[in-house]
Structure 1
Amino acid sequence: MSAQPAHHRILLKLSGEALMGDDAFGINRATIVRMVQEIAEVTQLGVEVAVVIGGGNIFRGVAGGAEGMDRATADYMGMLATVMNALALADTMNKQGLTARVMSAIGIQEVVEPYVRPKALQYLEEGKVVVFAAGTGNPFFTTDTAAALRGAEIGADLVLKATKVDGVYSADPKKDPNATRYTSLTFDEAMVKNLGIMDATAFALCRDQKLPIRVFSIFKPGAFKRVVLGEDEGTLVYA
Structure 2
Amino acid sequence: MDARFLGIGDLAETPSVAVVVDVMRACTVAAWAFARGAEKIVLAESLEEALALKDRHPDWVALKDDPPAPGFDAVNSPGLLRSVDLGGRTVVQKTTAGTVGALAVKDASLVLCAGFVVAEATARLLRTRGGDSVTFVVTGEDGRAEEDLACAQYIAGRAIGAVTDAAGYLRRAADSRAAGELTRGVRQGAHPDDVALCLELDRFPFAMVATPEGPLMVLRPLDVPAGTAGSGGVVDR
Per the normalisation by structure 2, the TM-score is 0.34
| Structure with the largest fraction of strand | 2
The structure whose RCO (Cα within 8 Å, separation 6+) is larger is: 2
- Larger Cα-atom Rg: 1
